[in-house]
Amino acid sequence: MEIFSAIVSVLGGVATFVYGLKLLGEGTEKLVGYKLKKFVAGCVKRPFGGFLAGASVAALTQSSAAVTMVTVGLAESKAITFLQSAPVIMGANVGTTVTAQFIAIFGRGGEYRVAVGAISIAVGVVCCFIGKKSVKTVGELFVGFGLTISGLTALSGRIDTLKRLSFLRVFGSVENPFLLFLTGIVVAAVTQSSSAITGILITFSGNSITAFYKAIFIILGSNVGSCFAVILSSADKSLPAKKAAVFNLVFNLFGAIVFFPALIALKNVLPVIFPHAATDAGRAMADFHTLFNLAASLLAFPLLKPLAAVTDKLSCGKIYKKKKNRVKNACI
């Protein structure tokens, strides 16, 4: 009975955490959505400006997928071109790592979490009952923050009980990096959030379930898996919008292809790069998540044109030019 209760508690914690992140993103978009779109559209004249815009907006909304969808919308309306959208998407992947940093700092340990979560939700509920629309939106942000903290608390509180489950022990014995990478893809595709996966891994690591080295391959996979929701949402949109959505996948695949073999080759060097991994794996995971996305962006910047060419082929750019009548069936 105790095991069943722990499973229900952890599943509820995951759902609460993911929903809290969703409310945070939606609340931010409601509060300053139009201004954010205007801000992004005004920053894309220079690639680095677009990159910084994507990073800052993703840090605010706590979701690279949300920023990519906004970028897809701007490309759809022809407010920006596909090449202008690419740096924004790259920046969004860096900005969303703020969530993992926040969880590593505030989301683990400490009895204050329960109080912070409860107070935040209470303030949010009060704000939601005030008539002014902007105040209600601020209330939504408080509720989202409180649910995120409460979800993490529920997760970490029952991990020790779950250690007894045989399937978790089997999962913990998985050593193959490719299997861990695939796990990250599948779970992120279902949850539609790489930040949520990283946050859960950080929480688990605090209870010594997930080793740092195994977790980084799941993080690589989660970056790729979170792209599919955006691609599906762009299925009925114009070619520039499709390209923006597909570029998100191409960019994250590029990062995974470059760093996957490098991480295997540098297995013995990783403790030097992340010396705190042995004592605080969660902190190291958050740092890896940020550094990986930043490094992938720096490597991708000089390769924007080749990556754009790959994106063009995958999103049926050539078919649009040559066989207009067959585009609908052939494209993503």
Q: Lowest-confidence range among 101-110, 212-221, 308-317?
A: 101-110
Give the tens place of pLDDT for each residue, 22-51. 777 677 666 655 666 677 777 778 888 889
Run of H or E residues at 63 = none
Cβ distance 59 to 101 under 8 Å?
A: no
Confidence of residue 239 (pLDDT cuts 50, 70, 90): confident
Alpha helices in the chain (DSSP H): 2-43, 47-61, 64-76, 82-95, 98-106, 112-128, 133-157, 159-162, 166-172, 177-191, 194-205, 212-225, 228-233, 239-265, 270-273, 281-300, 304-314, 317-322, 327-330
Q: What is the mean pLDDT of residues 251-261?
A: 93
Run of H or E residues at 301 = none
Confidence of residue 252 (pLDDT cuts 50, 70, 90): very high
- Whether residue 251 is predicted with pLDDT greater than 90 in this model: the reply is yes
- Whether residue 207 is predicted with pLDDT greater than 60 in this model: the reply is no
Q: What is the mean pLDDT of the chain?
A: 76
* Distance in angstroms (rounded) separating the CA atoms of residues 39 and 77: 15
Cβ distance 150 to 117 under 8 Å?
A: yes
Q: What is the mean pLDDT of residues 226-244?
A: 79
pLDDT at 292: 92
Q: Lowest-confidence range among 8-12, 107-111, 126-130?
A: 107-111
- Whether residue 86 is predicted with pLDDT greater than 50 in this model: the reply is yes
Q: What is the mean pLDDT of residues 266-284?
A: 84
- Reported as half-sphere exposure (CB side, CA atoms, 13 A), residue 165 has a value of 17
Buried/exposed code over 190-218 (b: 16+ C-beta within 10 A; e: otherwise): ebbbbbbbbbbbbbbbbbebbebbbbbbb
Q: What is the mean pLDDT of residues 159-173?
A: 53
- Whether residue 294 is predicted with pLDDT greater than 60 in this model: the reply is yes
**For the whole model, what pTM was predicted?**
0.74
